[in-house]
Amino acid sequence: MKFTPSTLEGEQGITKLGDFLRAFMKLKLQHIQFNVLNADTLRKAQEKPEDYAGLVVRVAGYSAFFVELSKEIQDDIIRRTAHESVIAKRAKQVVQNLGSLVRPSSKHEYLISSDTR
């Protein structure tokens, strides 16, 4: 499971991670690997691999040390990670915008408000 660092920022990020882990445990799943990284970290690892020898990334269904991968594969991972960061930022904006349009109606229902103030 890959997270960008901004996903886990602050008290809200830690709360979300805790909620995620509790749900994971309720499903009785027994293994998960977290990668918390961004494209900047990966670029730095390319520039100074000796400083990032322990950096593990997911590659097409397996894990590998980033600095041991070919430059072509590293570049692909950086592109995908940068793209995912853009998508995550946009999704966060959409959720924030929806928050002003959605209000609790009851314990399990939400109403969409036509008031966009």
Tens digit of pLDDT for each residue in 52-103? Answer: 999 999 888 888 999 999 999 999 999 888 766 555 555 556 555 555 554 5
Higher-confidence residue of 110 and 79: namely 79
Give 110's pLDDT tier (boundaries 50, 70, 90): very low
**Inter-CA distances, 100 with 13, 15, 94, 95, 110, Å:** 20, 21, 10, 9, 12
Contact 50, 72 (CB under 8 A): no
In this prediction, residue 94 carries a pLDDT of: 56
pTM above 0.85, yes or no: no
Instruction: Give pLDDT tens digits for 1-54.
Output: 777 788 888 888 888 888 888 888 888 888 877 778 888 999 999 999 999 999
In this prediction, residue 82 carries a pLDDT of: 76
**Inter-CA distances, 97 with 15, 25, 65, 102, 117, Å:** 21, 31, 38, 9, 11
Closest by CA to 38, choosing from 71, 78, 11, is: 78
Burial class (CB in 10 A: 0-12, 13-18, 19+), 1: exposed
**Inter-CA distances, 116 with 32, 92, 95, 98, 100, Å:** 40, 18, 14, 10, 7
In this prediction, residue 69 carries a pLDDT of: 96
